[in-house]
């Protein structure tokens, strides 16, 4: 029988042994071989690059339009990560040139730390290679696929290599490389390399020729970059689209995000297979030391308690623990009280910067931003942030604009399948002054931003386009939406009260001539002076100006109106000033009508008396 093989070389040897076994253990000489033997000869290993080359849709290259956005996204994400990790305020330029029909050249350049020459090929032309897969902290990339997939797509669709120019410091020359990815071996093919002069002190430039199509809209490169500017207010992005139109998304702050710190896995989030692998590869001499050095929040006392619950001696060698022992440890993790993991592995945007980013890109009259406290799901810390932009020139009759983000990266596709969308549609927006039919997005002039920051984002696929429907995550999103919704309700409530006061002022203004005439007849005062006094009391101009100020306040946050209505009752819609004006208006109108009626009755009596005298 064939022996069990380990590794690629051993797999090949095992295949040879299998062939030899099948050729000798098959049917007798002179007879046809069993069908299983023929099928076994067709089996072969499939390389990871070869698999993704045949399944480009898994990486976000479903169609030409989406391919253009994905290629830009992967390059920009890499640039932002590199700059932030090096403490450099990002300055990124994106240029898309239409070379021919359905052929585009994508050029992305950054001012990051650059890439050392030895790593260029592996970073840009080797799938599942990178520094982020095993790192447990918030970051944009996770799998080591993104930019290599874009290089692979360029080679498959146009046959042209990717062109890389990078420099690590003014003391070093810039390295220029042309390369493609060998899908059979998942390795870079370097076609050309040289040293070049470059006017940048440090940074990286990548140039890709791809088959794609350009079209503006909610799922375009334009929207992606605008959305990126909202959640990355510390970055400057210069964009030139295929129509040679330039857009500059200037940074709103010079403050870089707080660096996320890497943490160890938490016992509550580890799975059985992972634990077995960790135990077998451990170099620790005791189980207690293994638990303390490989998991967060495990102190000597906690390690002792875990061992007691698992009924395994603390000095037992980790690599000698069986599968049953590992399963006992998993159960012990659940039954042991362990502190939540540290949350310094997260780097949220923050309420102030999130609001600034939204104000910079969305013109509205009211803004609100909420950052929830960090929570833990299956040992993985995550944090939810929400922002609203209401009013302004946004569409009033259509559904709201929903902007979804994961670790500061926009999610433009599969909105209906995303857990964020479910959280928004299942929130009762009618309670906050918005129109909404069951199970759909609310209707009105509003943009909603939802950002999830986590060491592990549960995407629904490798293309990272939607977040899975996990109850804990959806619950946190809804809590943040409700908190922001209460701020919105206060503002809408105040605005409606001002409009109500203006309507009352308009109504009162129509009766001013009648009231002034009645008061003139009662008091003998000049009628123009009475009219002026009544108009001053109405304060219509002040109310109108107040409404205009509310609607025009779209370049900075209006803190006054954000605080308005904090002590109001939800069912109360009239403030004391409005009640006083209303009561005065009603009193004056009633008095004027009563006086006019008395005057008419007196006039009628006088006419009757005159008639009697004549008779």
Q: Do domains 52-249 and 267-335 have the same CATH topology?
A: no
Q: Is the torsion defined by CA of 7, 13, 17, 19 positive or negative? A: positive
**What does pTM read for this prediction?**
0.72
Q: Is the torsion defined by CA of 75, 79, 85, 86 positive or negative? A: positive
User: Under a CB-based contact definition with an 8 Å cutoff, are residues 554 and 524 in contact?
Assistant: no
What is the distance between the alpha carbons of residues 481 and 388, in angstroms, rounded to a whole number?
Answer: 9
User: Under a CB-based contact definition with an 8 Å cutoff, are residues 340 and 383 in contact?
Assistant: no
DSSP state of 143: S
Of the candidates 320, 366, 355, the residue with the CA atom closest to the CA atom of residue 492 = 366
Contacting residues for 392 by C-beta, under 8 A, at least 6 apart: 362, 363, 364, 365, 445, 551, 554
Distances (CA, A) of 409 to 57, 451, 457, 507: 19, 9, 11, 51
Q: Is the torsion defined by CA of 251, 253, 254, 257 positive or negative? A: negative
The count of residues in the chain is 615
Topology of domain 267-335 in CATH is Helicase, Ruva Protein; domain 3 (1.10.8)
What is the distance between the alpha carbons of residues 390 and 494, in angstroms, rounded to a whole number?
Answer: 14
Q: Residue 476: what pLDDT?
A: 95
User: Under a CB-based contact definition with an 8 Å cutoff, are residues 452 and 382 in contact?
Assistant: yes
Please state which CATH number belongs to domain 351-479: 3.30.230.10
- Report, at the CATH architecture level, how domain 52-249 is classified: 2-Layer Sandwich (3.30)
With left for phi above 0 and alpha for psi between -120 and 50, is residue 572 left, alpha or beta? beta
What is the distance between the alpha carbons of residues 139 and 158, in angstroms, rounded to a whole number?
Answer: 31
What is the distance between the alpha carbons of residues 514 and 483, in angstroms, rounded to a whole number?
Answer: 48
Residue 66 sits at φ, ψ, to 5 deg, of -70, -35
Those residues of the chain that have pLDDT short of 70 are 1-32, 44-53, 55-57, 129-135, 141-144, 496-503, 505-508, 511, 531, 534-535, 537-615
Q: Residue 7: what pLDDT?
A: 45
Of the candidates 86, 373, 407, the residue with the CA atom closest to the CA atom of residue 228 = 407
Spans of all domains in the chain: 7-45, 52-249, 267-335, 351-479, 490-612
Q: Residue 261: what pLDDT?
A: 87
Query: Which residue shows structure tokens 């006088």?
Result: 606
For β-strands 366-371 and 375-377, DSSP reports them as unpaired
Q: Residue 612: what pLDDT?
A: 47
Helix 221-231 and helix 64-85: axis angle, to 10°? 30
């Amino acid at each position: 029988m064939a022996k069990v093989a380990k590794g690629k070389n051993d797999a090949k040897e095992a295949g040879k042994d299998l062939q030899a076994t099948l050729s000798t253990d098959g049917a007798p000489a002179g007879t046809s071989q069993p069908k299983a033997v023929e099928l076994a000869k067709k089996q072969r290993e499939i390389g990871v690059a070869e698999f993704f080359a045949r399944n480009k849709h898994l990486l976000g290259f479903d169609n030409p339009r989406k391919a253009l956005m994905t290629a830009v996204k992967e390059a920009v994400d890499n640039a932002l990560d590199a700059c932030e990790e090096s403490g450099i305020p990002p300055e990124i330029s994106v240029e898309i040139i239409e070379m021919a029909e359905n052929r585009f050249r994508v050029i992305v350049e950054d001012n990051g730390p650059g890439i050392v020459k030895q790593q260029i090929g592996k970073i840009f032309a080797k799938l599942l290679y990178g520094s982020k897969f095993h790192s447990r902290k918030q970051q944009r990339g996770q799998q080591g696929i993104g930019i290599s997939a874009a290089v692979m797509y360029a080679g498959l669709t146009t046959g042209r290599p990717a062109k890389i120019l990078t420099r690590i410091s003014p003391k070093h020359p810039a390295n220029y490389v042309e390369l493609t990815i060998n899908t059979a071996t998942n390795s870079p093919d370097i076609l050309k390399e040289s040293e070049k002069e470059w006017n940048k002190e440090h940074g990286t430039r990548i140039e890709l020729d791809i088959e794609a199509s350009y079209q503006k809209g909610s799922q375009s490169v334009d929207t992606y970059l605008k959305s990126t500017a909202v959640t990355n207010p510390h970055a400057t992005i210069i964009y030139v689209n295929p129509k040679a139109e330039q857009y500059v998304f200037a940074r709103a702050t010079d403050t870089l995000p707080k660096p996320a710190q890497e943490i160890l896995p938490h016992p509550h989030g580890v799975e059985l297979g992972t634990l077995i692998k960790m135990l077998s590869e451990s170099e620790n001499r005791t189980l207690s030391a293994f638990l303390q050095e490989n998991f967060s929040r495990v102190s000597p006392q906690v390690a002792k308690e875990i061992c007691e619950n698992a009924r395994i001696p603390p000095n037992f060698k980790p690599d000698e623990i069986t599968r049953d022992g590992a399963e006992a440890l998993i159960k012990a993790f659940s039954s042991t009280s362990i502190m939540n993991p540290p949350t310094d592995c997260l780097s949220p945007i923050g309420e102030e910067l999130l609001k600034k980013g939204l104000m910079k890109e969305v013109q509205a009259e009211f803004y609100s931003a909420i950052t929830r406290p960090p929570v833990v799901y299956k040992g993985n810390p995550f944090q939810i942030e929400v922002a609203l932009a209401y009013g302004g020139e946004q569409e009033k009759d259509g559904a709201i604009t929903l902007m979804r983000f994961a670790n500061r990266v926009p999610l433009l596709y599969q909105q209906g399948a995303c857990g964020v969308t479910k959280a928004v549609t299942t929130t009762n927006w009618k309670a906050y002054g918005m129109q909404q039919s069951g199970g759909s997005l609310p209707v009105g002039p509003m943009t909603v931003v939802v950002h999830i920051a986590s060491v592990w984002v549960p995407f629904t696929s490798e293309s990272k386009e939607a977040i899975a429907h996990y109850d804990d995550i959806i619950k946190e999103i809804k809590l943040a939406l409700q908190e922001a919704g209460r701020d919105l309700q206060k503002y809408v409530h105040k605005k409606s009260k001002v409009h109500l006061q203006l309507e009352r002022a308009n109504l009162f203004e129509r009766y001013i001539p009648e009231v002034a005439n009645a008061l003139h007849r009662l008091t003998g005062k000049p009628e123009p002076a009475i009219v002026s006094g009544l108009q001053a009391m109405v304060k219509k101009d002040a109310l109108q100006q107040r409404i205009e100020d509310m609607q025009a306040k779209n370049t900075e946050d209006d803190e006054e109106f954000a605080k308005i209505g904090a002590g109001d009752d939800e069912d109360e819609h009239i403030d004391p000033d409005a009640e006083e004006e209303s009561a005065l208006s009603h009193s004056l109108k009633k008095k004027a009508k009563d006086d006019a009626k008395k005057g008419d009755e007196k006039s009628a009596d006088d006419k009757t008396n005159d008639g009697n005298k004549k008779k």
